[in-house]
Amino acid sequence: MATENKNLSTYDKTTIPNAKNLRFGIVVSEWNESITEGLYSGALKALLDCGASAHNILRWNVPGSFELIHGCKKIITSQEIDAVIAIGSVIRGETSHFDYVCSATAQGIKDLNLQYEVPVIFCVLTDDNLQQSIDRSGGKHGNKGTEAAIAAIKMAVLGK
Protein backbone atom coordinates (compact mmCIF):
# COMPACT_ATOMS: atom_id res chain seq x y z
CA MET A 1 0.00 0.00 0.00
CA ALA A 2 1.41 3.40 -0.89
CA THR A 3 1.59 6.24 1.62
CA GLU A 4 -1.06 7.95 -0.52
CA ASN A 5 -3.56 5.36 0.74
CA LYS A 6 -2.44 5.22 4.39
CA ASN A 7 -2.19 8.25 6.62
CA LEU A 8 1.17 8.07 8.38
CA SER A 9 -0.20 9.63 11.57
CA THR A 10 -2.99 7.13 12.15
CA TYR A 11 -2.64 4.74 15.06
CA ASP A 12 -4.95 2.97 17.47
CA LYS A 13 -3.63 3.71 20.95
CA THR A 14 -5.37 0.68 22.42
CA THR A 15 -3.08 -1.58 20.36
CA ILE A 16 0.18 0.20 21.28
CA PRO A 17 2.19 -0.90 24.37
CA ASN A 18 2.49 1.73 27.09
CA ALA A 19 5.77 3.63 26.67
CA LYS A 20 6.01 4.60 30.36
CA ASN A 21 9.52 3.76 31.64
CA LEU A 22 10.88 3.23 28.10
CA ARG A 23 13.85 5.36 27.04
CA PHE A 24 14.24 6.67 23.51
CA GLY A 25 17.00 8.29 21.51
CA ILE A 26 16.05 10.51 18.59
CA VAL A 27 18.87 11.39 16.20
CA VAL A 28 17.91 14.25 13.88
CA SER A 29 19.65 15.26 10.64
CA GLU A 30 19.93 19.02 10.05
CA TRP A 31 19.70 18.76 6.24
CA ASN A 32 16.26 19.98 5.05
CA GLU A 33 15.67 21.19 8.57
CA SER A 34 12.07 22.33 8.14
CA ILE A 35 11.19 18.75 7.15
CA THR A 36 13.21 16.97 9.85
CA GLU A 37 11.81 19.29 12.53
CA GLY A 38 8.30 18.33 11.39
CA LEU A 39 9.23 14.66 11.65
CA TYR A 40 10.77 15.21 15.09
CA SER A 41 7.62 16.97 16.34
CA GLY A 42 5.46 14.10 15.09
CA ALA A 43 7.67 11.51 16.76
CA LEU A 44 7.90 13.39 20.06
CA LYS A 45 4.15 14.01 20.22
CA ALA A 46 3.35 10.33 19.60
CA LEU A 47 5.88 9.07 22.18
CA LEU A 48 4.43 11.40 24.82
CA ASP A 49 0.88 10.50 23.81
CA CYS A 50 1.72 6.80 24.33
CA GLY A 51 3.02 7.37 27.85
CA ALA A 52 6.73 8.15 27.45
CA SER A 53 8.21 10.76 29.81
CA ALA A 54 9.97 13.80 28.35
CA HIS A 55 13.02 13.12 30.53
CA ASN A 56 13.32 9.67 28.93
CA ILE A 57 13.61 11.09 25.41
CA LEU A 58 17.11 12.14 24.38
CA ARG A 59 17.66 14.18 21.19
CA TRP A 60 20.94 14.43 19.32
CA ASN A 61 21.52 16.38 16.09
CA VAL A 62 23.81 15.36 13.23
CA PRO A 63 24.68 17.37 10.07
CA GLY A 64 23.13 15.12 7.39
CA SER A 65 21.39 11.80 6.86
CA PHE A 66 24.69 10.09 6.12
CA GLU A 67 25.82 10.98 9.67
CA LEU A 68 22.73 9.32 11.19
CA ILE A 69 24.60 6.02 11.12
CA HIS A 70 27.41 7.17 13.37
CA GLY A 71 25.08 9.26 15.51
CA CYS A 72 22.84 6.25 16.16
CA LYS A 73 25.81 4.01 16.85
CA LYS A 74 27.18 6.49 19.36
CA ILE A 75 23.88 7.00 21.16
CA ILE A 76 23.36 3.21 21.41
CA THR A 77 26.82 2.60 22.81
CA SER A 78 26.95 5.54 25.24
CA GLN A 79 23.39 5.87 26.57
CA GLU A 80 20.85 3.59 28.26
CA ILE A 81 18.03 3.49 25.71
CA ASP A 82 15.43 1.01 24.51
CA ALA A 83 15.03 2.22 20.91
CA VAL A 84 16.43 4.88 18.58
CA ILE A 85 14.65 6.83 15.87
CA ALA A 86 16.85 8.08 13.02
CA ILE A 87 15.27 11.13 11.39
CA GLY A 88 16.37 12.47 8.03
CA SER A 89 15.13 13.97 4.79
CA VAL A 90 16.90 13.36 1.50
CA ILE A 91 15.55 15.22 -1.52
CA ARG A 92 16.67 14.34 -5.05
CA GLY A 93 18.97 16.88 -6.71
CA GLU A 94 20.56 17.00 -10.14
CA THR A 95 23.20 14.31 -9.65
CA SER A 96 23.38 10.74 -8.43
CA HIS A 97 24.42 11.96 -4.96
CA PHE A 98 20.84 11.28 -3.80
CA ASP A 99 21.20 7.57 -4.54
CA TYR A 100 24.48 7.27 -2.64
CA VAL A 101 23.17 9.10 0.44
CA CYS A 102 19.91 7.13 0.51
CA SER A 103 21.57 3.78 -0.07
CA ALA A 104 24.36 4.29 2.48
CA THR A 105 21.96 5.60 5.10
CA ALA A 106 19.51 2.73 4.71
CA GLN A 107 22.25 0.10 4.63
CA GLY A 108 24.05 1.66 7.58
CA ILE A 109 20.92 1.72 9.70
CA LYS A 110 20.15 -1.85 8.67
CA ASP A 111 23.66 -2.84 9.78
CA LEU A 112 23.14 -1.22 13.19
CA ASN A 113 19.97 -3.28 13.63
CA LEU A 114 21.98 -6.43 13.00
CA GLN A 115 24.92 -5.43 15.16
CA TYR A 116 23.23 -4.07 18.29
CA GLU A 117 20.37 -5.19 20.52
CA VAL A 118 18.78 -1.72 20.47
CA PRO A 119 16.40 -1.31 17.51
CA VAL A 120 17.00 1.64 15.18
CA ILE A 121 13.91 2.91 13.38
CA PHE A 122 14.29 4.25 9.83
CA CYS A 123 12.54 7.62 9.70
CA VAL A 124 14.34 8.94 6.64
CA LEU A 125 12.26 10.46 3.85
CA THR A 126 13.72 9.80 0.40
CA ASP A 127 11.72 12.08 -1.86
CA ASP A 128 11.84 13.24 -5.45
CA ASN A 129 10.83 16.78 -4.53
CA LEU A 130 10.12 19.09 -1.60
CA GLN A 131 6.35 18.75 -1.90
CA GLN A 132 6.54 15.00 -1.28
CA SER A 133 8.56 15.72 1.86
CA ILE A 134 6.09 18.35 3.08
CA ASP A 135 3.21 15.93 2.50
CA ARG A 136 4.90 13.29 4.71
CA SER A 137 6.20 15.43 7.57
CA GLY A 138 2.90 16.76 8.87
CA GLY A 139 1.13 17.44 5.56
CA LYS A 140 -1.62 15.75 3.60
CA HIS A 141 -0.22 12.23 4.10
CA GLY A 142 0.36 12.70 7.82
CA ASN A 143 3.70 12.45 9.57
CA LYS A 144 6.24 9.68 9.16
CA GLY A 145 7.69 10.75 12.53
CA THR A 146 4.48 9.55 14.15
CA GLU A 147 4.71 6.22 12.35
CA ALA A 148 8.35 5.90 13.44
CA ALA A 149 7.49 6.56 17.09
CA ILE A 150 4.88 3.81 17.09
CA ALA A 151 7.39 1.44 15.48
CA ALA A 152 9.97 2.42 18.13
CA ILE A 153 7.60 1.59 21.00
CA LYS A 154 6.63 -1.74 19.48
CA MET A 155 10.26 -2.68 18.83
CA ALA A 156 11.42 -1.52 22.27
CA VAL A 157 9.16 -4.10 23.94
CA LEU A 158 9.57 -6.87 21.38
CA GLY A 159 10.16 -10.18 23.14
CA LYS A 160 9.88 -8.63 26.63
Ligand X SMILES: CC(=O)[C@@H](O)COP(=O)(O)O
Ligand Y SMILES: Nc1c(NC[C@H](O)[C@H](O)[C@H](O)CO)[nH]c(=O)[nH]c1=O
Gyration radius from the chain CA atoms? 15
- Known active-site residue 55: no
DSSP assignments along 69-119, one per residue: HHHHHHHHHHS--SEEEEEEEEE--SSTHHHHHHHHHHHHHHHHHHH-SS-
Maximum CA pair distance of the chain? Answer: 46
Query: How many CA atoms, within 13 angstroms, populate the side-chain half-sphere of residue 86?
Result: 31
How far does the chain reach from its first CA to its final CA, in angstroms? 30
| Nearer residue to ligand Y within complex by CB, 104 or 155 | 104
Closer Cβ to ligand X, 68 or 101, answer by number: 101
DSSP class of 129: S
Q: Give the residue nearest to ligand X (CB).
A: 93
Q: Does 67 bind ligand Y (CB under 6 A)?
A: yes
Residue with the CB atom nearest ligand Y in the bound state: 64
Binding site for ligand Y (CB under 6 A): 29, 31-32, 63-67, 88-91, 101
Residues contributing to the annotated binding site for 5-amino-6-(D-ribitylamino)uracil: 31, 65-67, 89-91, 122
Residues contributing to the annotated binding site: 31, 65-67, 89-91, 94-95, 122, 136
Binding site for ligand X (CB under 6 A): 90-91, 93-95, 97-98, 101
Give the active site residues.
97
